[in-house]
Amino acid sequence: MEDGPFLREDIHCLILGVVTADSSIDQILMNRICVDGEDSTEKVASLVRRSGKVDVLMLPSISLGGFNIIDPYELHRELRLPILIVNPKRPDMRMVREALQQHFVDWEERIRVFNLMGSPKAFHPNSRIRTYYYAVGVSRYEAESILRVSLRFGKRPEPLRVARIIARALGELSSMKALGRM
């Protein structure tokens, strides 16, 4: 699952998921969430249920669409699926906390999930690649086995890498339409 680009004044942004099977794209799922809203957990769960084919849910972050926070524990309870949050960059919790405090009255509720998750684990499948992850509903061994198989072309698991490419392209297409260039 990935979010598409958005502007500060946008109300909604795209979320897009890529379901893969045997190294091939099997499905592309799309919806939209409120930028800095509170609907990402519900919308992600809805997309996964609609697919009916997901074995592991991968997310690039605990938040999509700015600070629309996803609760991985709630997703795991609802969907009964392992949840992996995978990103090549280690989150800077000091900066996250400061941004939340500065921009949100309900910052304490929004940071709750970040605090529950703790520090991400580092994964080094080889000497060139390092990525960070959180795992919910799956052991460290199983999570790293999944990552080892899905990290083919860099630091992002293939479903997240492809979802990111498609979401960015659709966002660019949307911007071009808005500017009358299409």
- Beta-bridged to residue 147, according to DSSP, are none
Question: What's the confidence (pLDDT) of residue 129?
Answer: 83
Domains of the chain, start order: 2-178 (3.30.2170.10)
The model's pTM is 0.90
Question: What's the confidence (pLDDT) of residue 181?
Answer: 53
Question: What's the confidence (pLDDT) of residue 171?
Answer: 78
Question: What's the confidence (pLDDT) of residue 27?
Answer: 93
Question: What's the confidence (pLDDT) of residue 117?
Answer: 93
- b/e burial code for range 17-51 (CB count within 10 A of at least 16 → b): bbbbeeeeeeeebebbbbbbbebbbebbbebbeee
Q: What is the pLDDT along the chain (182 residues), one digit of tens a residue?
A: 999 988 888 899 999 999 998 778 999 999 999 999 999 999 999 999 999 889 999 999 999 999 999 999 999 999 999 999 999 999 899 999 999 999 999 999 999 999 999 999 999 888 788 899 999 999 999 999 999 999 888 889 999 999 999 999 987 776 545 555 54
Question: What's the confidence (pLDDT) of residue 176?
Answer: 44
User: What is d(CA 48, CA 113) in angstroms, rounded to the nearest whole number?
Assistant: 21
* Sheet of strand 2-3: strand arrangement: 2-3, 12-21, 24-34
Whether residue 43 contacts residue 102, with contact meaning beta carbons closer than 8 Å, is answered with no
